[in-house]
C-alpha cells in the first residue's frame, strides 16, 4: 500500500510540474499580446474636478496649411449653442506625443509596405523633441515601441512589423479603447495617428462605448485609410466607355470609411483617404505639421449638471463674417477642427 501511495504521489507531483511548465510557457508566449493593455490596468484611476473647459483648435486654409497669427477676438466658442466668453487663449507650437496605431491584418499585407514608406515621411516631418510610439493591432493591440524622440529607432521598428495572413479579427474599436487607456495618464498634447482599413469586428456595444468616449477624449486622432488602393481605380479622363455600367459602392468600404471619419471628427482630428503612394506621403506630411500647431481656448463651464455638452468653435474672418457652416453662406475660408463635446462638472 505504501508503494502504491508513493507511486500516486509521484505521478501527481509530475503532473503538477508539467502543468506549471505549460502554464509558464503559455504565459510567456501570450505576454506580448497582453502587455500593452495590462500595463495600464495597474494604474489607479484619478478623477479631478475641473470647472475650466479646454478646447484645442486646429485652423487650416484651403491648402491644408496651419493658419497662424489668429487672436482671441478671432474665435467664438459655443456650449450647447450658447456663446461663452473665452477666458484663456494661447497659440501653441510645442513638442507633440504621437502614437502610431497600425492595422496588421491580411488586407494591409497587400499594400506591400507603401503605407510604411509614407509613415517614414511623417517621422521625418516631426521635430527633434516630438515623441513617437508605435502600436499594432488586429485581434488586439500590441505595443511595438514605447515613446521615444529617436525617429530612426521608430523607423527601424516599422520595418520589423509583421502582418497577419489568413483569417483574423480586426477589432478596431476595442484596440483603440485600450490605446486611449494607455494615454489617459499622460500630460500635454496627445495625438493618435490611426492607419486602418476601418473594418471593425468589435462587438456592437464596444463600438458604441468607444464613440461615446471619443467625444470626451483629450487625445486628437488623425485617421488614415489603408483601403483606398485596394479598390477599383476610377477611369482616366478621356478613356470613358460609352454608357459604362454603374458600379455600386461596396457597403463594407462605405461603413469603414464612415467609422474612420467619425473617429477623427469626434476628437478634432482629420481623416484622409489616399489612393496612391503620393497621396499617402502628402497626408503624412500634413499630419506631421498639424500635430505641433494648435490654438488653445478655455472657458468656464456655465452649468454644473454632469451632462455631456456639445462644443462649436467658429473663426471670425471679419466682424460680420464668421466662418460658419451655414448653407446660406459661401464655403468657409478656414477649416476648423476641435473635439465635439465635454463632460460638465457636477
245-291 pLDDT tens trace:
434 456 778 889 999 999 999 898 999 999 888 888 889 888 988 88
Q: What's the length of the chain?
A: 346
Residue 150, CB-side half-sphere exposure with 13 Å CA sphere? 9
Which residues make up the CATH 3.40.50.410 domain(s) of the chain? 95-229+250-290
| Distance of alpha carbon 259 from alpha carbon 172, whole angstroms | 10
DSSP E strands: which ranges in the chain?
52-60, 75-79, 82-84, 88-93, 97-103, 131-137, 141-148, 190-196, 219-225, 271-272, 293-300, 308-318, 321-322, 335-337, 341-343
- In the three-class reduction of DSSP (H, G, I as helix; E, B as strand; rest coil), residue 204 is classed as helix
Supply the DSSP symbol for 73.
G
Task: Give 318's pLDDT tier (boundaries 50, 70, 90).
Answer: low
| Distance of alpha carbon 195 from alpha carbon 280, whole angstroms | 11
CA neighbor of 295 nearest in space, from 238, 341, 251, 336: 336
203 compared with 289, residue with greater pLDDT: 203
166 compared with 66, residue with greater pLDDT: 66
340 compared with 116, residue with greater pLDDT: 340
C-alpha of 3 from chain center: 65
121 near 214, Cβ under 8 Å?
no
Between strands 293-300 and 88-93, the pairing is antiparallel
Q: What residues does 184 pair with on adjacent strands?
A: none
Judged by phi (left if over 0) then psi (alpha if -120 to 50, else beta), residue 74 lies in alpha
**Whether residue 310 has pLDDT greater than 80:** yes
Grid look-up 460658419 returns 324
Between strands 190-196 and 52-60, the pairing is unpaired
Per residue in 47-69, pLDDT (tens digit) is 444 578 888 888 888 777 888 88
Sequence-separated (6 or more) residues with CB below 8 Å from residue 112: none
Determine the pLDDT at residue 67. Answer: 86
The mean pLDDT of 6-18, rounded to a whole number, is 40
The CATH number of the domain covering residues in 95-229+250-290: 3.40.50.410
Q: What residues does 312 pair with on adjacent strands?
A: 78
Amino acid at each position: 500500500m505504501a508503494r502504491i501511495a508513493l507511486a500516486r504521489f509521484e505521478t501527481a507531483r509530475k503532473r503538477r510540474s508539467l502543468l506549471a511548465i505549460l502554464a509558464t510557457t503559455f504565459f510567456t508566449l501570450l505576454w506580448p499580446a497582453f502587455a500593452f493593455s495590462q500595463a495600464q490596468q495597474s494604474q489607479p484611476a484619478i478623477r479631478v474636478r475641473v470647472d475650466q473647459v479646454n478646447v484645442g483648435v486646429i485652423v487650416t486654409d484651403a491648402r491644408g496649411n496651419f493658419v497662424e497669427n489668429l487672436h482671441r477676438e478671432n474665435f467664438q466658442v459655443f456650449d450647447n449653442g450658447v456663446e461663452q466668453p473665452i477666458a484663456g487663449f494661447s497659440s501653441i507650437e510645442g513638442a507633440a506625443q504621437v502614437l502610431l496605431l497600425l492595422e496588421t491584418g491580411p488586407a494591409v499585407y497587400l499594400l506591400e509596405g507603401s503605407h510604411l514608406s509614407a509613415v517614414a515621411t511623417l517621422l521625418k516631418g516631426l521635430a527633434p523633441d516630438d515623441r513617437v510610439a508605435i502600436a499594432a493591432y488586429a485581434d488586439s493591440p500590441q505595443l511595438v515601441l514605447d515613446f521615444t524622440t529617436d525617429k530612426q529607432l521608430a523607423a527601424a521598428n516599422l520595418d520589423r512589423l509583421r502582418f497577419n495572413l489568413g483569417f483574423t479579427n480586426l477589432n478596431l474599436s476595442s484596440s483603440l479603447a485600450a490605446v486611449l487607456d494607455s494615454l489617459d495618464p499622460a500630460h500635454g498634447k496627445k495625438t493618435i495617428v490611426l492607419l486602418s482599413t476601418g473594418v471593425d469586428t468589435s462587438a456592437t456595444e464596444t463600438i458604441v462605448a468607444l464613440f461615446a468616449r471619443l467625444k470626451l477624449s483629450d487625445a486628437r486622432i488623425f485617421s488614415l485609410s489603408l483601403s483606398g488602393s485596394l479598390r477599383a481605380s476610377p477611369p482616366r479622363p478621356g478613356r470613358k466607355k460609352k454608357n459604362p455600367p454603374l458600379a455600386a459602392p461596396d457597403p463594407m468600404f462605405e461603413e469603414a470609411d464612415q467609422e474612420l471619419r467619425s473617429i477623427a471628427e469626434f476628437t478634432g482630428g482629420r481623416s484622409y483617404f489616399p489612393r496612391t503612394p503620393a497621396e499617402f506621403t502628402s497626408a503624412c506630411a500634413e499630419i506631421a505639421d498639424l500635430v505641433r500647431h494648435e490654438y488653445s481656448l478655455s472657458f468656464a463651464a456655465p452649468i454644473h449638471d454632469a451632462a455631456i455638452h456639445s462644443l462649436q468653435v467658429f473663426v471670425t474672418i471679419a466682424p460680420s463674417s464668421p466662418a460658419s457652416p451655414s448653407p446660406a453662406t459661401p464655403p468657409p475660408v478656414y477649416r476648423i477642427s476641435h473635439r465635439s463635446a465635454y463632460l460638465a462638472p457636477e
